[in-house]
Amino acid sequence: MPFNRRWRRPTFSEIKVTDSFWSTRQQTLVRVTLPTQFSQLESTGRLENFRRVIDGEHGKFSGFWFNDSDVYKWLEAVAYGLAIEDSPELRSKADIAIDLIARTQRPDGYLNTYIQYEKPDMAWKNLSMMHEMYCGGHLLEAAAAWHDALGDNRLLNVAVKFADHVMSIFGPDRRLGYCGHEEFEYGLIRLARATGDTKYREFARWQVDTRGSRPSPFEPELTDEVALSMHRGQVGQCLRDGAYNGEYLQDHAPVREHTSVVGHAVRAMYLYMAATDLADGEKDEAMESALRRCWDSLTKRRMYVTAGIGPSGDNEGFTNDFDLPNGTAYAETCAAIGLIFWGQLLLEQTGESDFADIVERSLYNGTLSGISISGDHYFYDNPLESRGQHERTPWFPCACCPPNIARLLGTIGQLAVGIGDDTIAIHLPIGMTVQTPLATIEVSGNYPWESEVTIAVTPRTLEPFGLAIRIPDWADELGLELEVADEPADYQDGYAVYHRVWSPGDVIKVDFGTEPKWIEANPAILDDLGRVALSYGPMIYCAESTDNGFLPQRAAVLTEQEVAIAYDASLLGGVTTITVPAIVDQDAFPDGLYADLGTITLQERDLKFIPYYAWNNRGKSSMQVWLRRA
């Protein structure tokens, strides 16, 4: 399908998440995650940086030079949080931040506490490394969020001044420039939508279209001494064999010529988000092909089974096709979130459910693993194996992930539903109430633990309209029942569509037929050879030593035998566990390292699995997603 926006996202007034799985998490977001993150912003000096600039101070900045972005992302998440559940305390914390931001902005619109405090002469001098537009992009997204979710325009005024300032320096008739870390482009798109002023969208288009120019505007910056002293490692990432290459920051070629996802994973996702939104209705075949090529590269050759992406910590990003080591997987939380953001935009442009399959896989696995069940500890990297060296922490020196997952959790409802002209699509069958001019739709069930979902439709019109229900890729058997009549569904782009006149009380009962399923990996992934992973509905499972009396690495699962499924409300906030028979070595190897084959004695033991997202909530442990198959 050509890119032509098929679904728009529901507003906060159109959707209310009532899901047993997600509404708990959204409550935790407002009551735990966002308040504790504010404490971190204060205690780590991220807000103090604004106060110092306001006070006219200059000196040596502490922390990373892009720390402003954490404040903006937190504010964006607060907007969503307050739209879900108002909290005067949280609102007053946000007011502090918004006030500081507005007062820090220079009269000309410039805003970046690192530059203003430590290196005023460096403003716009080094776009590849300094992240000024990156921070600004998050300011724009926060501003749009406060406008969209709360009707509050305080940040929007700051954002407009900032964007206008940038556009007074850069542009088609001015200086060529785009940011080393993409994000500003998508912020501009959201600013255009919030203000109704399309010039911001067109500026974003110019930045996306000029990226990959030769000579690159980044090349002369790489010899800049200030940047070198700060960012030698990043400068090195931009080179190959000593010459500028630019893959690290997706500046290796114009986007329309990209053939695979390369470089820093989060940056790539943010670039393609903007490019996907901008392609809407443009009939830009070169761009659509490039985006589909890169999506295929990503999801068919470079993605973990958890939908974690970017295996390497060296470049925080991509390496080679099928290079997906488990224990050293970087799979940054932000990258998995970026995959959701991009995938959702592709879904909304094309209406093809394949994109939603990946979004859902990331949501319940590689993204959700990034935050603890308590809502105040985080993973930056999300490995698929641990030997006890990993542990969640309350914050990071580079703290991009915590506020990023906060803004994601605040918009679960926006991912679940798509609204078209005469159709409503259920992308994710979570518990929710959707209210549109066409109808009120109540989705209820106990997803993802149970596979039966009930969709109750109360029409507001006598005209026919459509209800499209996504059939997930993992659903083997589908037991769709329409209770009011024996009407068959149409199947289109992976959705079961009922287009009819609806009556109050019409109910659709869906059963996705969730069963535990063993998965194997393409043998080109050398790290997964001889191994299997266990899935249950949209979730990938893992075995953690905490639940078993032995390291999961020492088990080989018996995949032909029956497994035991049990929901345990008291475990990890309530999870379905799956117990599998396995062959485990007995602890009776002789003193020493190596012996003749047959020395190891084996026994059958039960191996309990939990959802991958829930691991490491009970302290350090050994964990494995890909188990050896006996």
Beta strand residue intervals within 207-274, DSSP E? 239-240, 243-244
Calculated CA dihedral for residues 205, 206, 211, 214, nearest 10 degrees: 150
Q: Report helix, strand or coil for 182.
A: coil
Query: Measuring CA to CA, how many Å separate 58 from each of 54, 55, 61, 70, 564?
Result: 10, 9, 9, 21, 63
Q: Out of 71, 84, 428, 532, point to the residue binding a second copy (CB under 8 A).
A: 532
Give which of 228, 233, 227, 282 is closest to 255, Cα–Cα: 282
- Cα dihedral 101/104/105/108 (nearest 10): 170
Nearest to 182 by CA among 144, 220, 127: 127
Q: Is the Cβ of residue 344 or residue 622 nearer to a second copy in the bound state?
A: 622
Q: How far is the CB of 183 from a second copy (least distance, A)?
A: 28
Given the complex with a second copy, which of 54 and 551 has the nearer CB atom? 551
> In whole angstroms, what is the distance from residue 545 CA to residue 553 CA?
9
Residue 598 within binding range of a second copy, rule CB under 8 A: yes
With binding defined as CB under 8 A, does residue 215 bind a second copy?
no
Radius of gyration of the chain (CA): 25
Q: Does 259 bind a second copy (CB under 8 A)?
A: no
Is residue 507 at the binding interface for a second copy, with CB under 8 A as the rule? no
Question: Rule CB under 8 A: is residue 569 a binding residue for a second copy?
Answer: no
Piece in contact with a second copy (CB under 8 A), picked from 93-101, 136-144, 500-508, 551-559: 551-559
Q: Taking the complex as a whole, how short is the minimal distance between the CB of residue 609 and a second copy, in angstroms? A: 15
Closest CA to 295 of 233, 239, 362, 243: 362
Taking CB under 8 A as the binding criterion, the range among 10-18, 256-264, 564-572, 581-589 that sits at the site for a second copy is: 581-589
DSSP string, 67-117: THHHHHHHHHHHHHHHHHS--HHHHHHHHHHHHHHHHHS-TTS---HHHHH
Q: Do strands 627-629 and 555-557 pair parallel, antiparallel, or not at all (unpaired)?
A: parallel
Determine which residue in the list 243, 593, 603, 619 makes contact with a second copy, applying CB under 8 A: 593
CB of 428 to a second copy, least distance (A): 20
Q: Does 520 bind a second copy (CB under 8 A)?
A: yes
Instruction: Verify binding: residue 225, a second copy, rule CB under 8 A.
Output: no
Interacting positions 277-316 with a second copy (CB under 8 A): 299-301, 303, 305
Number of residues that bind a second copy (CB under 8 A): 41
Output the smallest distance, CB 514 to a second copy, in A. Answer: 14
Rounded Cα distance between 112 and 132, Å, is 6
Q: Per CB under 8 A, does 124 bind a second copy? A: no
The answer to whether 524 contacts a second copy (rule: CB under 8 A) is yes
| Residue number with CB closer to a second copy (219 or 520) | 520
Q: Judged by CB under 8 A, does residue 501 bind a second copy?
A: no
Q: Does 564 bind a second copy (CB under 8 A)?
A: no
Q: How far is the CB of 375 from a second copy (least distance, A)?
A: 30
* Cis status, amide bond into 215, omega within 30 of 0: yes
196 binds a second copy (CB under 8 A): no
Query: Is residue 607 near a second copy by the rule CB under 8 A?
Result: no
Q: Does 362 bind a second copy (CB under 8 A)?
A: no
Q: Which of 31, 106, 387, 500 binds a second copy (CB under 8 A)?
A: 387
Distance CA 458, CA 441 (A): 6
The Cα 314–Cα 328 span in angstroms is: 11
**In the complex, which residues of this chain contact a second copy (CB under 8 A)?**
299-301, 303, 305, 322, 387, 517-526, 529-530, 532-533, 551, 553-554, 556, 559, 585, 587, 589, 591-600, 628-629
